[in-house]
Amino acid sequence: MVELTEREKTIVHVMNFMMNPMTKNVPIDTRAVALKAMIGIQGINATVEFCQDISHAVEAEMNLAQGKGLKFLDENKEMLKGIDFSKMMEGKS
């Protein structure tokens, strides 16, 4: 099994926070304090400033990845043939 570094674990927590519909629109200052508390429970010691910085970095990368990914799929529509998106929306595979 692969072990995640403390930084990688922190990124997972940031992404979970940002993807949760109930917390995704929380201001960055609040997110950083919550993130510090969440990773602190796991014994990861970080400053609020680090939590803000990593939140900004993850958000920027997610936006970049989503933009490039959607552009790629738009330019390569043939790759989507055979995928039933209605089942995906219902939570089925």
CA distance 40 to 86: 40
Domain residues for the domain of 21 are: 6-89
Q: Which residue has the higher pLDDT, 44 or 93?
A: 44
> 12 lies in a domain?
yes
Put residue 56 in one of left, alpha, beta given phi > 0 → left and psi -120 to 50 → alpha.
Answer: alpha
In this prediction the pTM is 0.71
> 1 lies in a domain?
no
Q: What one-character DSSP code corresponds to residue 24?
A: T
- Token pair 């929380």: residue: 26
Which phi and psi angles does 5 have, rounded to 5°?
A: -75, 170
Q: How many domains, the chain?
A: 1
pLDDT digits (tens, 9 = 90+) for 5-43: 999 999 999 999 888 999 888 999 999 999 999 999 999
